[in-house]
Amino acid sequence: MTSKQSPTSSNPTASDSLTIESSKATQVPAGLKGVVVANTEVGAVRGNEGFYHYRQYSAPVLARERNLESIASLLVNGRLPSAEQAEHFRSELGASRLVKPEVAAMMTTVASMAPNPLAALRIALPMIADDTPTLDQNAAQRMSACLQICAVTPSILAAAWRAQSGVTPIAADPSLGHAADFVRMVTGSQPSDAATRAVEIYLALTMDHGFNNSTFAARVITSSGASVSAAIGGAIGALSGPLHGGAPSRVLDMVEAIGNPTNTEAWAKQALANGDKIMGFGHAVYRAEDPRSDLLREVCLEIGGPLVARAQEVEQRMLAVLRQWKPNTVIVTNVEFYAALALHLAGIPPEMFTPAFATSRVFGWCAHILEQAANNKIIRPAANYSGPPVMTLSTV
C-alpha cells in the first residue's frame, strides 16, 4: 500500500497557514522588533526620547503627582479619575485584596506545590476570579474579573512567599493603600512612609510599558476568547523569564561582588571578557535615559545610606566602562538597577522582586486584555518555513 504526502500549497497565505514558504512570505526582523501588530490606546514608549506614557499622560509625571490607585484606574478605565472616583477605586481594591477563606486555606498547599510565588499565583488564578471565557462575557463582567485579579495578586504572592518561607501568611488590610499593604503582607511589619513611597513609585512606573513580551502574550491569549485568568497566567509565564521580568536581585549581587566602587572597572572588564551580562544596564528600547531609572534614583537618594552611595558610584563607573567598550552605542542605566535598591530598602526580599513587578504589571495586562476583548480578532500570524525542501514521500 502506498500513501502520498502532498507538498505545501504553492499559494499559501497568512490567513490560512501557520507556516508558509519563506520565498512567498514577507521577511520580518528577529523577535518582531519594530513590527506594528496592533493599535492601542493604553500607552506607548518613545525610546529615542527617553519617554513613555499611560494613555495620554507622561508616566513619570503621573508617578510623581498621583497615587498608585489613581494611575491604575486611569489604565483600566481609560480616564484619569476625580478625587472621589480615585478613593472609590482604592476602596474597591482594598476590599477585593481580602482572599476568600477557602482560598487562604489552600495557599499553604498551593505554595508547597509551586517552586516560587509566581508559579503559585498561576495555580491560584482560576480559584480567585471568574474563569469564564472573555468571549462569553460582557464588558462589565470582564472588568470585574480584571479588578479581582489586580486586587488579589499582591495578597496571593505575599502569602505564597511567606508559606514557602515557613511563616504564617498575613491577611490583607483594606484600609491601607495597595503599595503599603503589599509591603506589610510580605515583611510582616507596617512600612515606613519612605518605604511605602519607594515601592509605590516603583509600582506606578512599571504598570505598563508598550507592547512588551508579557503584554503581547496576554493579548494573544485573549484573542482566542480565553478567560482573563488564562491570559494573566500566560503573561505571568512570560514575565517569569529573566530576559523579560529580569532579575533585579542580580544587581544587588553585582554591587556586593564589586565591593569598593574603585573595583568597578576591573570587575566590569573581566565580566565583559567572559561574555557575562552586566545587570542593570542597557535596554532593548531606550536610546536615551530610562525615565523609570531616573525617578527611582531620586527616591533611593532621598532614603540615602551607605548602600545607595556605593551603588551610585558603581553606576557612574560602570557607565564609563560600557561607553569605552561600545563607544558608538547608547548604553543607559535601566529600571532594574534602582528598582533593586528601592525594593531592598523597603525590606522586600530578593525572591520577591519579580513578583513585585507582577503586582504592578497586572494592571497594564488587564488594560490590554479589556482593549483586546472589546474589539477582538484572533491573533494568528504566519511563520516562514526554513527547513529542508518539501517533497512527496512514498512509503510501503
The residues pairing with 393 across neighbouring beta strands, listed in sequence order, are 5
Shortest CA distance to 62 belongs to which of 210, 215, 207, 214?
Answer: 207
CATH of the domain at 228: 1.10.580.10
Q: Is the distance from CB of 297 to CB of 202 less than 8 angstroms?
A: no
Do 218 and 267 have their domain in common?
Answer: no
If you search the block for the grid coordinates 482594598, which residue do you land on? 94
Do 67 and 116 have their domain in common?
Answer: yes
Report DSSP state, residue 333: B
Report DSSP state, residue 211: S
Q: Is residue 361 part of a domain?
A: yes
Residue 283 a catalytic site member: yes
Do 97 and 228 have their domain in common?
Answer: yes
Query: What residues have CB less than 8 Å from 53, skipping those under 6 apart?
Result: 43, 44, 59
Return the number of other C-beta atoms located less than 10 Å from residue 25's C-beta.
Answer: 17
The amino acid at 142: R
Q: Could you give the C-alpha distances from 171 to 130, 223, 354, in angstroms and in order?
A: 22, 35, 21
Do 221 and 288 have their domain in common?
Answer: no
C-alpha cell, 75: 489604565
The amino acid at 116: N
Do 134 and 241 have their domain in common?
Answer: yes
Report DSSP state, residue 227: B
Q: Is residue 25 part of a domain?
A: no
Q: Give, for all 396 residues of the chain, the pLDDT tens digit.
A: 443 343 433 343 334 444 444 445 567 888 888 889 899 999 999 988 889 999 999 999 999 999 999 999 999 999 999 999 999 999 999 999 999 888 888 888 888 889 999 999 999 998 888 899 999 999 999 999 999 999 999 999 999 999 999 999 999 999 999 999 999 999 999 999 999 999 999 999 999 999 999 999 999 999 999 999 999 999 999 999 888 887 778 899 999 999 999 999 999 999 999 999 898 998 878 777 889 999 999 999 999 999 999 999 999 999 999 999 999 888 889 889 999 999 999 999 999 999 999 999 999 999 999 999 999 999 999 888 889 988 877 654
Name the active-site residue from 283, 315, 344, 368. Answer: 283
Backbone conformation region of residue 142, classed left if phi is above 0, alpha if psi is from -120 to 50, else beta = alpha
Name the active-site residue from 200, 336, 344, 368. Answer: 336
What is the Cα–Cα distance from 141 to 146, expressed in whole angstroms?
A: 9
Q: Is residue 259 part of a domain?
A: yes
What is the Cα–Cα distance from 162 to 352, expressed in whole angstroms?
A: 10
Do 296 and 354 have their domain in common?
Answer: no
Do 47 and 119 have their domain in common?
Answer: yes
Q: Is residue 303 part of a domain?
A: yes
CATH of the domain at 274: 1.10.230.10
Do 264 and 135 have their domain in common?
Answer: no
Q: Is residue 16 part of a domain?
A: no
Residue 69 a catalytic site member: no
What is the Cα–Cα distance from 228 to 363, expressed in whole angstroms?
A: 12
Report DSSP state, residue 129: S
The amino acid at 49: E
If you search the block for the grid coordinates 508617578, which residue do you land on? 63
The residues pairing with 384 across neighbouring beta strands, listed in sequence order, are 20
Q: Give the range of the structural domain holding residue 306, as residue numbers without chain letter.
A: 249-345
Residue 340 buriedness (CB in 10 A; 0-12 / 13-18 / 19+): buried
What is the Cα–Cα distance from 151 to 235, expressed in whole angstroms?
A: 17
If one counts the domains in the chain, the total is 2
Do 115 and 202 have their domain in common?
Answer: yes
Q: Could you give the C-alpha distances from 291 to 51, 304, 332, 336, 391, in angstroms and in order?
A: 6, 20, 10, 12, 53
Do 160 and 77 have their domain in common?
Answer: yes
What local confidence, expressed as pLDDT, does residue 252 receive?
94
C-alpha cell, 118: 509566581
If you search the block for the grid coordinates 515601592, which residue do you land on? 199
Q: Is residue 109 part of a domain?
A: yes
Q: Is residue 396 part of a domain?
A: no
Do 221 and 239 have their domain in common?
Answer: yes
Do 269 and 362 have their domain in common?
Answer: no
From 345, 360, 385, the end of a domain falls on 345
